[in-house]
Amino acid sequence: MALQEVLEAVAGRVGRLGVETVFGEPRTLDGRTIIPVAKVGYGFGGGVGEAPAEGEAPKSAQGGGGGGGGAAVPVAVVEITAGETRIIPVLDYTRIRLAGFFCLGMALWVLGRALGHRRR
């Protein structure tokens, strides 16, 4: 696949991004409408180059490569009822626990260093 074709394919996908990418399809159940909300991220990279092969006379040699990826992470749910509209955050408890363990570890490390310097 030529570089031009790759760039056109990527541009076509990025050009289709819109609010539908972040806000999911509304669903109604028992008088409540639920709309999922996500954080979406994309990344792309690529490159091409020309160089003669090692030990050969300069002639046209080229190569290229690229890649990309994306992720969608749920962040909230919008709940719409007859009386109110509210945003309910989606919590990632694994991340919260990891952050807590990290902070606890750092606190114990600082405490250990402080007590270690005192004894000397």
Give pLDDT, residue 58.
Answer: 67
Give every residue of the chain whose pLDDT is below 50, as ranges: none
pLDDT score, position 71: 84
Return the pLDDT at 105: 96
- Tell me, what's the pLDDT at 9? 75
What pLDDT was estimated at residue 118? 66
Q: In the β-sheet with 85-89, what is the strand arrangement from edge to edge?
A: 27-29, 32-50, 62-80, 85-89
